Structure 1
Amino acid sequence: MVNARHGPFHRLSSPTQSAIDAQQQVGSAEIWGKPARGSNIPSVKAYRGPLPSGEKGVEFYTDIAPLAGQNTPTWARWNLGHTPGVVHRTRGGVDYAAIPVEITLVRS
């Protein structure tokens, strides 16, 4: 049963969203994100809606509302320092934004 309030959202498999990343996300119940191109603000980025049929990736819900005014009908973003509830993580000297999630589907 899904208890989180916002979603579904999804991230498609890509070089920055691998099957290994998906398993780490399931284990940690968090999704992390780096700064977008041209930005120095770490952010989690995802598409709105369920993971499309036949696509590889992860589908999730979260209690953290996406950043208002920075989203479109097709994607959402959670910025570190600008979105309440986003937490800071560091790995290998790189800063990340992270949100707690409930992953409901992994397809790899």
Structure 2
Amino acid sequence: MARVSSDEDKAHMVLDVFKHFGTRSGEVIMPEHAMAIAMKRDWCREDLVDGLQIATLRGWIEDGPNQTIRLTEEGFFQVERLQRPRKLAALACGGSGVILFRYRG
């Protein structure tokens, strides 16, 4: 699994999940659904958990009813700013580790 290093990218992972589901301001998703998308996209679980914390601190998401995650108005604004879901790719670097980069696909 590819690791994401920047807080910005981790927070945007969360926004990508909401964008995937077409979530609007005030709507909620189940944490299990966020994890399912993370697994499907081969994201590291710890990065998504960090992203949830960062997005909460930025006011993009908040706790919803029954242990759900609610997208705030500011979070929805940020989701709308994303032109496409970001994709993270990893490239092996001659045995010296992994390089992460973003591309729009």
The two structures share one fold, judged by TM-score above 0.5: no
Normalized per residue, which structure has more helix? 2
Normalized per residue, which structure has more strand? 1
Q: Which has the larger radius of gyration?
A: 2
TM-score class, shorter? 0.3 to 0.5
Give the TM-score normalised by the residue count of structure 1: 0.32
